[in-house]
């Protein structure tokens, strides 16, 4: 079953089959889910892998379940499914917004959360900063079992996963938090955002911020938390202008990337405005 | 043109129906048995003097049936005044200016050969701002 | 033509209600299989990046950019192209509305726009201009400026006609 007689694309129906097929193909194989990144390989002037193992038809990887304590999201849940199924889960608002506004409707129908996490050179991925600010964990299929690691750790190791190792699930712990996701494309929608900001806070009864998680995407090659700004948000109420001023003072934290659509300095320049917008939106959430 | 009746003609475009049905065959939709596919070698700098164009290696590549340059088609085109060369001759005047055209049995073969056309250039200053 | 016959496994596709068999490599983009193998040239290849929407077809009722869909992933799915909308020489209500509102210019974007709008109408509870604009974010039109497209599609809502 796991020989290369199937040709360049093997469509796995179970996790077990996928693991066997990927292990068999070794470094010449790779998982394929929504395929929207992989199919643009020639445009990036890169070479396709000789073999792909499609995992997006595996039912177990397509389940999204909202439990009391956590939300379990299969790696092959699409952006469209995420947006629609999380629309009624207020504590994951950042993820629902990220999924609902990324790219365009047709891409959202097939692009998966797993793919968004695994495309190591895709700097403008929307779901990654949202998952960072929600402290999500990744359940990895690893030799003989599964392993659970923080998203930030996954981002460090994703480019060097062993054959047969792939993302099974994303787990988001539930918490009484407010979160938001803001992005700045060049047009109103439909193109890669120049900068992305995801923000999650917990508030005490009098509206003072207890904890703040800020994640920035598209400014650097990999999304990451903005700890300097987080420190300035806690122990005070949500104040959009104050947050924007503090953001401005911490812009030096970034090694912003130049891209064909915008230079690095511009990506950083717009961050304070995105912070103001995000904090204002959080303040208006119930 | 004067029209004293101030009448307007309100017909739907006659080509709209087929375009909406997806029936209209644009150039890119047309196919003939054993047809060839073309790809262009284009300038990748905005200004340069062309010292040499060598198509010999590209011409021998798999599937390639013909390669043409300005030497084969020393024509000019244009709107109103035909002052625009079809292919760059002695100078490159804009980024993307066609230098050669390849006809091959498949599009992939044509693209590969277009990339293999050797163009030797001497750089020239470019006017890229006003 | 991008058809390659290296793969001995044949690919079963259901296209516009018909069972078809493709001999293309399963990694061939679906748009190339539709156009080059089945001569369904309605879907157009423009950007090959999933941005412009000229290649949009419906897969199990949902819009997908067929330039980024490996044909092997569409196997056993229900593929619908623009050629399925009208029967014979007729026009669907949506096509008729677009014709009558004088929307079509070069026409290159319309197969993709028609499939996006068809899916939108099949799934929208209360169609409105703003939601329709969001549905068309991935359909680029160079000629028309979009407003007449929206007017034409919305005229269907007002006349309570199923598109």
Is residue B89 situated within a structural domain?
Answer: yes
Statement: residue A1 has pLDDT above 90: no
DSSP letters for A216-231: EESSSSS-EE-HHHHH
pLDDT tens digits, one per residue of A194-213: 999 999 999 999 999 999 99
> How far is A121 from A45, CA to CA, in rounded Å?
13
B3 to chain C, any CB pair closer than 8 A? The answer is: no
B-C Cβ pairs (cutoff 8 Å, strict)? 65
User: For the structural domain made of C11-84, what CATH number should be given?
Assistant: 3.10.20.30
Tell me if ipTM is over 0.90. yes
| A-chain residue closest to C136, CA distance | A105
Sign of CA dihedral C124, C125, C128, C134: negative
| CA atoms in the 13 A half-sphere facing the CB of C78 | 5
Statement: residue C152 has pLDDT above 80: yes
A-C Cβ pairs (cutoff 8 Å, strict)? 89
In this complex, the residue of C44, C83, C104 whose CB is nearest that of residue B16 is C104
> How far is A4 from A23, CA to CA, in rounded Å?
12
Statement: residue A35 has pLDDT above 80: yes
> How far is A216 from A91, CA to CA, in rounded Å?
19
Name the domain count of chain B. 1
Q: Are residues A46 and A116 both part of a single domain?
A: no
Residue A4: pLDDT band (50, 70, 90) is very low
Name the domain count of chain A. 3
Round the CA-based radius of gyration of chain B to a whole number and report it.
Answer: 21
pLDDT tens digits, one per residue of A87-130: 999 999 999 999 999 999 999 999 999 999 999 999 999 999 99
Tell me which of A21-30, B2-11, B83-92, C121-130 is least confident.
B2-11
Q: Which residues, at least 6 apart from B86, have a Cβ–Cβ distance to it below 8 Å?
A: B70, B73, B75, B76, B77, B98
Q: Are residues A106 and A195 both part of a single domain?
A: no
Distance of CA A26 to the CA centre of its chain: 26
Q: Are residues A28 and A95 both part of a single domain?
A: no
Statement: residue C127 has pLDDT above 60: yes
Q: Any idea what DSSP says for residue C37?
A: I
A40 contacts C48? CB cut-off 8 A: yes
Q: State mean pLDDT over A153-170.
A: 95
CATH of the domain at A155: 3.30.465.10
Mutate which: C11, C26, C57, C77, vs A, most A CBs within 10 A: C26
Statement: residue B101 has pLDDT above 90: yes
Where in the sequence is the domain holding A192, given as residue range(s)?
A: 178-284
Residue B8: pLDDT band (50, 70, 90) is confident
pLDDT at site A96: 98
| A-chain residue closest to C69, CA distance | A35
Q: Of the candidates A173, A208, A241, which is a domain's last residue?
A: A173
Statement: residue A23 has pLDDT above 60: yes
pLDDT at site A7: 81
B24 contacts C98? CB cut-off 8 A: no
pLDDT tens digits, one per residue of C42-54: 999 999 999 999 9
Tell me which of B2-6, C5-9, C13-17 is least confident.
C5-9
Statement: residue A154 has pLDDT above 60: yes
> Which comes out higher in pLDDT, residue C8 or A244?
A244
A125 within 8 A of A217, measured Cβ to Cβ: yes
Where in the sequence is the domain holding B96, given as residue range(s)?
A: 33-123
Q: Are residues A66 and A155 both part of a single domain?
A: yes
pLDDT at site C163: 58
pLDDT at site C4: 45
Burial status of residue C82 (CB atoms within 10 A of its CB: 0-12, 13-18, 19 or more):
buried
Is residue B11 situated within a structural domain?
Answer: no
Q: State mean pLDDT over C89-102.
A: 96
pLDDT at site C10: 83
Interface residue ranges in chain C relative to chain B, Cβ cutoff 8 Å: 1-2, 35-36, 39-45, 81-83, 85-86, 91, 95, 98-100, 102-104, 107-108, 110-111, 114
**Chain C residues in contact with B21 (beta carbon < 8 A):** 42, 82-83, 85-86, 91, 95
Is residue B111 situated within a structural domain?
Answer: yes
When the candidates are 1.10.150.120, 3.30.1330.10, 1.10.10.10, 3.30.70.260, the CATH number that belongs to C93-158 is 1.10.150.120
Q: Are residues A48 and A68 both part of a single domain?
A: no
Q: Are residues A82 and A69 both part of a single domain?
A: yes
pLDDT at site A3: 43
pLDDT at site B130: 86
B31 contacts C91? CB cut-off 8 A: no
Residue C1: pLDDT band (50, 70, 90) is very low
**Chain A residues in contact with C70 (beta carbon < 8 A):** 9, 32, 35, 39, 52, 54
Is residue B65 situated within a structural domain?
Answer: yes
Is residue B59 situated within a structural domain?
Answer: yes
The residue ranges of every structural domain in chain C are 11-84, 93-158
Instruction: Enumerate neighbours of B (3 or more CB pairs within 8 A).
Output: C
Q: Are residues A86 and A146 both part of a single domain?
A: yes
Q: What percent of chain A has pLDDT over 70?
A: 98
C42 contacts B22? CB cut-off 8 A: yes
CATH of the domain at B63: 3.90.1170.50
Of the candidates A209, A233, A213, the one whose C-alpha atom is nearest the C-alpha of residue A223 is A213
Q: Are residues A67 and A167 both part of a single domain?
A: yes
B23 to chain C, any CB pair closer than 8 A? The answer is: yes
For residue B12 the two structure tokens come to 């739907």
């Amino acid at each position: 079953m796991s020989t290369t007689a199937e040709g360049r694309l093997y469509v796995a129906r179970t996790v077990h089959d996928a693991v066997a097929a990927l292990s068999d193909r070794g470094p010449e194989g790779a998982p394929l889910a929504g395929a929207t990144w992989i199919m643009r390989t020639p445009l990036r002037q890169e070479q396709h892998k000789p073999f792909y193992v499609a995992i997006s038809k595996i039912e177990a990887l397509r389940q999204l379940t909202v439990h009391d304590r956590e939300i379990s999201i299969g790696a092959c849940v699409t952006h469209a499914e995420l947006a629609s199924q999380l629309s009624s889960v207020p504590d994951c608002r950042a993820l629902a917004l990220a999924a609902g506004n990324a790219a365009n409707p047709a891409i959202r129908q097939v692009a998966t959360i797993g793919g968004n996490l695994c495309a190591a050179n895709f700097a403008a991925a929307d779901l990654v900063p949202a998952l960072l600010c929600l402290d999500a964990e990744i359940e990895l299929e690893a030799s003989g079992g599964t392993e659970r690691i923080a998203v930030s750790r996954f981002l460090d190791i994703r480019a060097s996963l062993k054959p047969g190792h792939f993302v099974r699930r994303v787990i988001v712990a539930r918490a009484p938090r407010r979160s938001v996701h803001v992005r700045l494309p060049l047009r109103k929608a439909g193109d890669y955002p120049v900068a992305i900001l995801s923000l999650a806070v917990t508030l005490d009864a009098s509206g003072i911020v207890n904890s703040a998680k800020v994640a920035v995407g598209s400014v650097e090659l990999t999304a990451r938390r903005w700890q300097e700004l987080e420190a300035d948000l806690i122990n005070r109420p949500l104040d959009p202008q104050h947050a924007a001023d503090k953001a401005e003072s911490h812009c030096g934290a970034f090694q912003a990337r130049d891209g064909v659509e915008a230079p690095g300095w511009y990506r950083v320049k717009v961050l304070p405005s995105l912070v103001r917008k995000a904090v204002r939106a959080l303040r208006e959430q119930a | 043109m004067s029209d004293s009746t101030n009448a307007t003609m309100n017909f739907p475009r006659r080509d709209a129906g087929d375009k909406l049905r997806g029936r209209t065959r644009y150039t890119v939709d047309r196919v003939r048995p054993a047809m060839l596919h073309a790809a262009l070698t284009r300038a990748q700098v905005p200004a340069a003097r062309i010292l040499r164009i060598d198509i010999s290696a590209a011409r021998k590549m798999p599937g390639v049936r013909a390669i043409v340059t300005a030497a084969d088609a020393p024509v000019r085109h244009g709107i109103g005044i035909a002052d625009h060369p079809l292919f760059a001759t002695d100078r490159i005047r804009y980024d993307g200016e066609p230098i050669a055209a390849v006809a091959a049995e498949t599009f992939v073969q044509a693209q590969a050969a277009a990339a293999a056309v050797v163009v030797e250039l001497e750089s020239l200053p470019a006017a890229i701002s006003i | 033509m991008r058809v390659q016959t290296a793969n001995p496994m044949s690919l079963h596709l259901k296209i516009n209600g018909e069972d078809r068999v493709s001999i293309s490599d399963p990694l061939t983009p679906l748009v190339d299989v539709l156009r080059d193998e089945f001569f369904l040239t309605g879907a157009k290849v423009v950007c090959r990046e999933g941005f412009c929407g000229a290649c949009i077809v419906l897969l199990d009722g949902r819009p997908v950019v067929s330039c980024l869909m490996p044909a092997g992933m569409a196997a056993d799915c229900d593929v619908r192209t623009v050629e399925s909308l009208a029967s014979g020489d007729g026009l669907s209500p949506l096509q008729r509305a677009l014709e009558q509102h004088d929307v079509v210019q070069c026409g290159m974007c319309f197969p993709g726009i028609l499939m996006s709008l068809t899916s939108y109408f099949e799934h929208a509870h209360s169609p409105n201009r703003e939601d329709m604009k969001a549905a068309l974010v991935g359909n680029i039109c160079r000629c028309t400026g979009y407003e007449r497209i929206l007017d034409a599609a919305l005229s269907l809502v007002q006349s309570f006609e199923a598109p």
